């Protein structure tokens, strides 16, 4: 009987994902839709998310005969309610679609982590609760700061020092230094430096508004990137580089500078390619994974076996074999989703990620104030490039870079950092300090 449910759920899960994606697309084209229409759409999306989560939880409950999945479901639904309530208490949210997408990605994350590793799923759920609490605290702190851009050097210092510590004392994983260990807990500081980095760059630009801003931002960004390259965390280095280049472009609107920066980055890339053998092996694994299938190409080949064998409609939730893919809960979780939900659903997820990126740019566009306009643009850029690097690496679109998929991959640091980013984006027009005389400081 369970196998019938799994087979039947192939259709229902796909239907929920398709409906969600469809509304996402409508909302991209209908930014100025009427209040009523918008809230109906938004409600349907929320319902789809809840149905999706219920469906996967029930399958897991019946397949594994373990009631913990029902308790987790209750907890997760409560968490979603708290996210919605907290944002509505904090501010008038910039984008309802953004909240729905965040919950959609969290749902996928919970469902697949539960399916892949119960222990990690429980921990990720705890991370999500912690992230929610810290995000609310961060928003409240930001409201107490009068002129946030004047702290730009503090942000630069925090970022550079954290990265230096990792570079010197970090734990080596997959050939790169990524994390710091404190007993049982291991954190990836580079995830938080993403935020301080954006605050620093935006601060430079807003404070000086001229060539000096560009100069300081460039020196700071260069330091960040160089330290990351020395730690061999090249995926993150690339994310920082792209965020810097595009933010400068948005702020200064200068195509010549953009061209120059891209040239410098390209030269740097070629140098890095020749200097680091592990980049070269990633390129080999990308260009012809089957030729090195038992060695460097093993992971990407396993990923493509999963996606290819799953086909358009997938093997059915819990009916695939995604655990054969190394690091499937982190970098390669997209392959697991493609295998079991099918490629149609996987393409829908890509579209939802794209819509999220556009929603973020739309929020940036509607920011009243230039500092947060730049920060939210930076968030949109980081979210997009990180998504592209992750999924592109999983489907052999580009060489694998070892970055996580926002909200979906297992990992507390990545989740917390993205949580804060989205809360900042949602509250971006509401992050000013009002003194007791009612004067507003940005």
CB of 336 to other proteins, least distance (A): 13
Which residue number, 210 or 368, has a Cβ lying nearer to other proteins?
Answer: 368
Phi-psi group of 181: left, alpha or beta (phi > 0 → left; psi -120 to 50 → alpha; rest → beta): beta
With contacts defined by CB under 8 A, name the span among 66-74, 116-124, 403-411, 433-441 that binds other proteins. 433-441
The partner residues of 312 in beta bridges, in order of sequence, read: none
Rule CB under 8 A: say whether 428 interacts with other proteins.
Answer: no
Backbone angles phi, psi at 212, to 5 degrees: -60, -40
Which residue number, 162 or 221, has a Cβ lying nearer to other proteins?
Answer: 221
> In the window 163-222, what residues touch other proteins (CB under 8 A)?
none
One of 324, 326, 327, 430 touching other proteins (CB under 8 A): 324
Rule CB under 8 A: say whether 118 interacts with other proteins.
Answer: no
CB of 182 to other proteins, least distance (A): 36
Rule CB under 8 A: say whether 71 interacts with other proteins.
Answer: no
**Whether the Cβ atoms of residue 130 and residue 412 lie closer than 8 Å to each other:** yes
One of 158, 193, 217, 395 touching other proteins (CB under 8 A): 395
- Count Cβ neighbours within 10 Å for each residue of 188-206 and write b for 16 or more, e otherwise: bbbbbbbbbbbbbbbbbbb
> In the window 3-22, what residues touch other proteins (CB under 8 A)?
3-4, 7
CB of 261 to other proteins, least distance (A): 14
Structure-token pair, residue 350: 């890509």
Rounded to 10 degrees, the C-alpha dihedral 76/80/83/88 comes to -160
Rule CB under 8 A: say whether 388 interacts with other proteins.
Answer: yes
Rule CB under 8 A: say whether 35 interacts with other proteins.
Answer: no
Residue 390, CB-side half-sphere exposure with 13 Å CA sphere: 26
Q: How far apart are CA 181 and CA 87, in angstroms?
A: 32
Rounded to whole angstroms, the maximal C-alpha distance in the chain is 70
With contacts defined by CB under 8 A, name the span among 53-61, 112-120, 392-400, 418-426 that binds other proteins. 392-400
> Residue 182: which H helix or E strand, with range?
strand 176-182
Which residue number, 274 or 291, has a Cβ lying nearer to other proteins?
Answer: 291
CB of 143 to other proteins, least distance (A): 16
With contacts defined by CB under 8 A, name the span among 61-69, 180-188, 393-401, 415-423 that binds other proteins. 393-401
> In the window 233-252, what residues touch other proteins (CB under 8 A)?
246, 249-251
Which residue number, 60 or 395, has a Cβ lying nearer to other proteins?
Answer: 395
CB of 158 to other proteins, least distance (A): 24
Q: How far apart are CA 121 and CA 115, in angstroms?
A: 8
Rule CB under 8 A: say whether 439 interacts with other proteins.
Answer: yes
Rule CB under 8 A: say whether 309 interacts with other proteins.
Answer: yes
Q: How far apart are CA 256 and CA 330, in angstroms?
A: 38
Task: Transcribe 145-177 into DSSP letters.
Answer: -S-GGGGHHHHHHHHHHHHHHHHHHPEEETTEE
Q: By rule CB under 8 A, what count of residues binds other proteins? A: 58
Rule CB under 8 A: say whether 441 interacts with other proteins.
Answer: yes
Rule CB under 8 A: say whether 321 interacts with other proteins.
Answer: yes
- Count Cβ neighbours within 10 Å for each residue of 139-153 and write b for 16 or more, e otherwise: beebeeeeebbebbe
One of 380, 420, 424, 425 touching other proteins (CB under 8 A): 380
> In the window 342-371, what residues touch other proteins (CB under 8 A)?
343, 346-347, 350-351, 353-354, 357-358, 361, 364-365, 368-370
CB of 421 to other proteins, least distance (A): 16
Q: How far apart are CA 163 and CA 165, in angstroms?
A: 5
Q: How far apart are CA 342 and CA 325, in angstroms?
A: 16
Which residue number, 89 or 253, has a Cβ lying nearer to other proteins?
Answer: 253
Phi-psi group of 200: left, alpha or beta (phi > 0 → left; psi -120 to 50 → alpha; rest → beta): alpha
Rule CB under 8 A: say whether 290 interacts with other proteins.
Answer: yes
Q: How far apart are CA 390 and CA 400, in angstroms?
A: 7
Residue 73, CB-side half-sphere exposure with 13 Å CA sphere: 18
Rule CB under 8 A: say whether 307 interacts with other proteins.
Answer: yes
Which residues of this chain interact with other proteins, rule CB under 8 A?
Answer: 3-4, 7, 246, 249-251, 253, 290, 293-294, 301, 304-309, 311-312, 315, 319-321, 324, 338, 343, 346-347, 350-351, 353-354, 357-358, 361, 364-365, 368-370, 373, 377, 380-381, 384-385, 387-388, 391-392, 395-397, 439-442
């Amino acid at each position: 009987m369970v196998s019938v449910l799994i087979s039947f759920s192939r259709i229902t899960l796909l239907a929920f994902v398709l409906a969600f994606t469809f509304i996402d697309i409508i909302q991209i084209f209908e930014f100025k839709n009427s209040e009523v229409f918008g809230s109906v759409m938004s409600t349907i999306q929320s319902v789809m998310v809840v149905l999706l989560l219920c469906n996967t939880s029930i399958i897991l409950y019946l397949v594994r005969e373990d009631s913990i999945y029902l308790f987790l479901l209750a907890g997760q639904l409560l968490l979603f309610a708290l996210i919605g309530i907290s944002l509505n208490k904090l501010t008038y949210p910039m984008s309802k679609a953004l909240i729905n997408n965040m919950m959609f990605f969290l749902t996928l994350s919970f469902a697949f982590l539960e399916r892949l590793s119960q222990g990690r799923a429980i921990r990720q759920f705890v991370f999500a609760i912690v992230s929610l609490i810290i995000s609310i605290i961060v928003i409240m702190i930001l409201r107490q700061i009068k002129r946030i851009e004047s702290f730009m050097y503090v942000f630069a210092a925090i970022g550079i020092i954290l990265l230096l510590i990792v570079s010197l004392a970090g734990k080596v994983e997959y050939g790169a230094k990524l994390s710091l260990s404190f007993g049982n807990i291991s954190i990836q500081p580079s995830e938080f430096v993403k935020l301080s980095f954006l605050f620093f760059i935006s601060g430079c630009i807003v404070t000086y508004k001229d060539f000096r801003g560009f100069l300081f931002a460039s020196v700071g960004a260069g330091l960040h990137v160089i330290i990351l390259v020395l730690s061999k965390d090249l995926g993150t280095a690339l994310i920082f580089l792209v965020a810097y280049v595009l933010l400068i472009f948005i702020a200064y609107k200068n195509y010549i500078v953009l061209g120059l920066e891209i040239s410098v980055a390209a030269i740097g890339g070629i140098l890095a390619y020749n200097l680091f053998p592990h980049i070269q092996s990633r390129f080999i694994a990308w260009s012809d994974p089957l030729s090195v299938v038992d060695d460097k190409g093993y992971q990407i080949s396993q990923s493509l076996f999963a996606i290819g064998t799953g086909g358009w409609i997938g093997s059915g939730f819990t009916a695939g074999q995604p655990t054969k893919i190394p690091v499937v809960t982190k970098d390669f979780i997209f392959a697991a989703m493609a295998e079991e939900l099918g490629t149609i659903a996987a393409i829908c997820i890509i579209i939802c990620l794209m819509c999220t990126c556009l929603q973020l740019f739309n929020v940036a566009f509607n920011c009243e104030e230039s500092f947060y306009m730049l920060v939210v643009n930076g968030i949109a850029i980081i979210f997009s490039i990180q998504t592209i690097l992750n999924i592109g690496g999983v489907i052999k679109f580009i060489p694998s870079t070892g970055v996580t998929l926002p909200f979906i991959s297992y990992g507390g640091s990545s989740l917390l950092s993205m949580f804060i980013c989205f809360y900042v984006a949602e509250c971006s027009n509401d992050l000013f300090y009002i003194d007791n005389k009612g004067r507003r400081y940005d």
